[in-house]
Structure 1
């Protein structure tokens, strides 16, 4: 009772009224919108220059590879230095990249080679920004506020995914240089928000000298923590198998017999479901049986994938994708909160870097897996197999990771304490 009275009873409800969290939220919103509209312009411009779909695929690969190469370094840097300085430095570099792309586009000397160079630089910068920004959040709010804060931060990401592509598409009418200029302004605003960000609690920094052990500590910590290992690997395999969104163009044209407007509705449906769910979780955070809730959400994700797979009616397909996005957001919020709360502060950068790469790998490989399976079984067979595979993963993981299955509350003091002990060793 004494611990509860140490802070206001309605403190979690006030998380968005806290100026520090608002600065964090708007910084995340601006940097994500800036990135989203930039990628829209890159895709349009690359295809206009090359008229080659393979080059579009290479853009994603070139951007993803730096996160693999810089995985160990980025997490280590996030744990050793001031995370605010790292994040705003990354955002300023992203603004400079966008300015360079704008100048190159306005001047007319942009080529596919330059786009690959810029995209690789952007991928390397985001390899540092993404895990550091995630690790920064627990220093902005209290542990009690964190579940709501994670949900609200996720809502910023989903809002950006909805707003960004539309804004980028409209702005591209005026030319790619205009889009890159808007992106540079948004990255600059995000950096300003982080520059004025005040922390509620001082973060713990890594003081041990650089060694193989400290570099690989993120992998070691996840492997030694069954709850984190189960949550992260569950998301990895569920997204890897259930990547129905990669086949949306085929479904829109050949199965639902709709045009580009229908494809746009299909693409926005998961983000709408995710945004509504994130806002709901921000007001109604999960308090009990969070492990089973997470598994249930992933199972619903699998069922929704299968419903989408067999649907030949656009409204039903959109509804299935809305449910898919909503269930995925529940899993994301639970996993993200567990990663933050069960990881000591001086480990959050390295653990977050591993988690970020796993998420990126699952998305990239999931699209590849869906394409290969669709070539063999057709799009409907590929989606149905992916949904069924997700259900099988849920059943297997509930048996393999009983600590995650039986996890009751997000904030488990005993688990957090054992994590600190593991770090000390």
Structure 2
């Protein structure tokens, strides 16, 4: 007589049933919305003062450079010290930064009128340092909230969904707050949300550092071990490289103002829709993946999704229809969401617990900086080739990178989760 078979039902809300993970997600949602509000208001404020588009680019530079500079040391700290303490300390610095920006607007912005934009850049620089330490600590702390590794994929999916949803809502909330209540009120809400994030992180119990089998290392050896691990692991290196070059070559976001005003003739309202479309696609796909996670042929699906992203970028560059362009950008977000969730899951799965801070730091150096470098590449290529050819070229280069990775990284191509 044949034994009856029982199928284990997937629970799409498994991670959310863990109280400490709910606190983690709430904190992540609050801090992401706060930072998005801050980005919108700071950009508007600085441009109103300087009337110089270059000053907007310097905002990203002021935040990205310190974050990249401290990344390796931040990874070492996350693997050596209490991760909750690092997160709480970093968020407390962000509370100070948000409060300082609010203070600058008191008394009708007299402080900024007297001192110029340099104090604002200084605050953004300080927040970049705090975020540089916060990234590896939060990446390595989240798995410690899970009772078992089987929850990783579901937790990563909900964490990604939370970030994407906040990324969609944040700029809209920032614009509405500024438009209806003024800059001081917008900064006050930014500071308040950061305080909420601090409270949520504070309520999570501290976790002991994972045990390690590593021999005693000097700080220099420990800092470099993250690089050695990534470059010796074909799966992680292939996944990070895919993400890096896809964003580097395929990122058309920096050129969306040109498409909205000159090519699609959609105006500023159309630009808002175009900017939101990829994030909306990402959120919808992330929610779907929470219910139907990727497990079989994950490597092949990741490669196909990055290729799909590249095709969307090529077609977007050639499109002259606003609605078709909107659909293509939403689809690019769908493909990007799948590849990001698979990449995050495999990094968590294949990286030893005691090294996650350092590996996350290496990931942040390459992938975290690719948006800023990709924006520069897009602008530089557009200056040389023209806007449309540069976008088509970027999408084609993304397809080339997928082909090379599929040929070279056999372990990633055959990956099963």
If the length of structure 2 is used for normalisation, what is the TM-score? 0.93
Contact 1:236/1:359 (<8 A) preserved: yes
Unpaired stretches in structure 2, ≥5 consecutive residues: 1-5
The answer to whether the 8 Å contact 2:40/2:175 transfers is yes
Indicate yes or no: 2:194 matched with 1:187: yes
Please say if residues 88 and 190 of structure 1, whose CA atoms lie closer than 8 Å, have aligned partners that are also in contact: no
* Number of residue equivalences: 402
- Which string of whole-angstrom CA distances, capped at 9 and with x for unpartnered residues, describes residues 162-203 of structure 1? 11001111111333222221111111111111111247x754
Determine the C-alpha separation between the residues in 1 that align with 2:304 and 2:53.
37
The separation in 2 between residues aligned to 1:301 and 1:289, in whole angstroms, is 18
User: 4+ runs of 1 displaced by more than 6 Å?
Assistant: none
Say whether the 8 Å CA contact 2:12–2:291 is kept in structure 1.
no
Tell me the CA shift for residue 389 of structure 1.
Answer: 0.7
Calculate the TM-score normalised by the size of structure 1.
Answer: 0.91
Shift of 1:372: 1.0
Q: Which residue of 2 aligns with 1:212?
A: 220
Of 153, 173, 180 in structure 2, the residue corresponding to residue 147 of structure 1 is 153
Query: Match of 1:77?
Result: 77
Alpha carbons 1:134, 1:352 under 8 Å: kept: yes
Q: 1:115 aligns with which of 120, 129, 147?
A: 120
- Within 1, Cα distance between the matches of 2:340 and 2:316? 21
- Aligned match of 1:417: none
- The answer for the alignment partner of 1:412 in structure 2 is none
Q: Once the 2 structures are TM-superposed, how far is the Cα of residue 52 of structure 1 from its aligned partner?
A: 0.6
For 2:10 and 2:282, how far apart are their aligned partners in 1? 26
Residue equivalent to 2:269: 261
Superposed CA deviations along residues 14-53 of structure 1, whole A, max 9, x for unmatched, are 2212211111111111111111101111101100111111
Matched residue SS, 1:182: helix
Residue 375 of structure 1: how far off its partner (Å): 1.1
Decide which of 122, 131, 134 is 1:129's aligned counterpart: 134
Q: Which residue of 2 aligns with 1:87?
A: 87
Residues 81 and 205 in structure 1, CA contact (< 8 A), matched pair in contact too? no
Contiguous gaps of at least 5 residues in structure 1: 410-425
Whether contact under 8 Å (2:68, 2:369) holds in the other structure is no
**Equivalent position to 1:334, from 342, 353, 363:** 342
SS in 2 for 1:285: coil
Residue in structure 2 matched with residue 374 of structure 1 by the alignment: 382
Q: 2:163 aligns with which of 157, 176, 184?
A: 157
After TM superposition, give the deviation of residue 391 of structure 1 in Å: 0.5
Aligned Cα root-mean-square deviation (Å): 1.7
Task: Please state if 1:300 is matched with 2:308.
Answer: yes
State the 1:13 CA deviation. Answer: 4.0
Q: Does 1:250 align with 2:255?
A: no
> Quick one: distance in 2 between partners of 1:130 and 1:181?
24
How far apart are 1:216 and its partner, in Å?
A: 1.1
Bigger drift between 82-91 and 394-403 goes to: 82-91
Match for residue 3 of structure 2? none
Contact 2:81 2:209 (8 Å CA) reproduced? no
For residue 300 of structure 1, report the CA deviation from its aligned partner: 0.3
Counterpart residue number, 1:224: 232
Tell me how far apart the structure 2 counterparts of residues 98 and 186 of structure 1 sit (CA, whole Å): 10
Could you tell me how far apart the structure 2 residues matched to 1:74 and 1:210 are? 15
Task: Report deviation, 1:11.
Answer: 6.0
Structure 1's 114 and 11: CA in aligned 2 closer, same or farther, altered over 3 A? same
